[in-house]
Amino acid sequence: MIEARNGRRVVITGLGVVAPCGTGLTEFWAGLRRPAEPVIDRRILDFDPARWGIGHVEARRMDRFAQLGVAAAAQALTDAGLDGDERPYDEDRCGIVMGTGIGGAYAWESQCKILFEKGPARVSPLVVPSVMPNAAAAMVSMRYGWRGPVETVVTACASGTHAVSNGARLVASGRCDAVLVGGSESCQTGIMSNGFLNMKALSGSGISRPFDVNRDGFCSAEAGGLLVLEEASAAAARGAAVYAEVAGSASTADAYHITAPAPDGRGAIACMRAAMTDAGLSPDEITHVNAHGTSTQLNDATEAAAVAAVFGATRPAVTSIKGVTGHAFGAAGAIEAVALALSFRYGELPPTMGVEHVDPACDIDVVLEPRPWTPGPALSNSFAFGGHNGTVVLVPA
């Protein structure tokens, strides 16, 4: 990364994920390769907070989005070998950067109902810490005693990707030796779901089909995804297994519209180019793009045109896992970063599920079946309401 100090490199040593297609790395990876049932609201039906050490009383004090974040963090730290009593790093140099688009939607909506039906005296004093978007990061910090920078990014559907980017810069700059990064989201409440439905963003068929000529909107989802980032030489010294290196990242804005992407794709194009510059790579070196690919008409067309403009005839392989996972909003970029890291581990690109006929207007190489892949430089994109764009570059470690 251009902002690295004294050659400090950032590597991924742990992953954790809770998603509708599978909880835990094995189940999640298998789920990415299975067709999803047609469901508009994709939920984690078997999620049990107790499995992740969240007791009944504690669970009542945490909104569901925070519970998903804690569960993913527990997995990631175990995967990285950082969950034991022996700590290789000073906790003051361990940070957390998490993203969410909405925060405690269930707590907010349930307490609004209590206010209207039972009066102000019955509103829970716990609603404030339950609703606040930084609750997940704060709970993870308190659980594991990490006392470095603990921050929350709220940039709609780019939040998870921006969290990965910001956390990597904390390691590259020398401020931290290890950072938990990612995001969590659970906001399929009556108000939120009907808001998306009435703005005609949700799929009427319950099938997410990114880049398909018949795509009709996204399927909403809840999820949590966390990654452990460490300074490369320190990770090697403790014998940590490494998935990939975070070589660069970027963030831009369309400055165009609160929900629609800029039609010319200028923000997405600038973001991908800036991320590659940050990583010291050229477009012809990129072998894969993990796309934002929401299955909406405007987003997919704009992203496909931006990818074509940036990469031209080199045509890197393009996957959107939202065909399986649905769109997890602020957690989307986080679980997609987990999926990309697993692609490095397994040497395979997951398919873009739900696609039957790629839109001829989307002139990109959409991966339709699991594809063997020799790991090489790859991008993960997130493009959000508000015009927020985020791109992270991963390379083989």
User: Active-site residue numbers?
Assistant: 157, 292, 327
Tokens at residue 306, please?
A: 């931006």
Cα 261 to Cα 76, 302, 303, distances in angstroms: 33, 7, 9
Element (H, E) at 35: none
What are the backbone dihedrals phi and psi of residue 84, each rounded to the nearest 5 degrees, phi first? -85, 180
Element (H, E) at 242: none
**Is residue 295 within 8 Å of residue 362, measured between CB atoms?**
no
Continuous H helices in 119-262: 127-131, 135-144, 159-172, 190-198, 232-237
Q: What one-character DSSP code corresponds to residue 383?
A: E
Q: DSSP 3-state assignment of 213?
A: coil
β-pair partners for 180 = 96, 228
User: What distance in Å separates the CA atoms of residue 337 and residue 45, rounded to the nearest whole number?
Assistant: 23
Tokens at residue 379, please?
A: 């991008």
β-pair partners for 99 = 153, 183
Q: DSSP 3-state assignment of 18?
A: strand
**Is residue 293 within 8 Å of residue 300, measured between CB atoms?**
yes
What are the backbone dihedrals phi and psi of residue 365, each rounded to the nearest 5 degrees, phi first? -90, 85
- Say how many C-beta atoms besides its own lie within 10 A of residue 223's C-beta: 36
**Is residue 328 within 8 Å of residue 335, measured between CB atoms?**
yes
Residue that has been written with the tokens 């991924």 in this structure: 12
Residues 6+ apart with CB under 8 A from 374: 287, 347
**Is residue 180 within 8 Å of residue 123, measured between CB atoms?**
no
Could you give the angle at which helices 105-118 and 190-198 cross, rounded to 10 degrees? 110
Q: Which of 163, 220, 150 is nearest to 186 (CA)?
A: 220
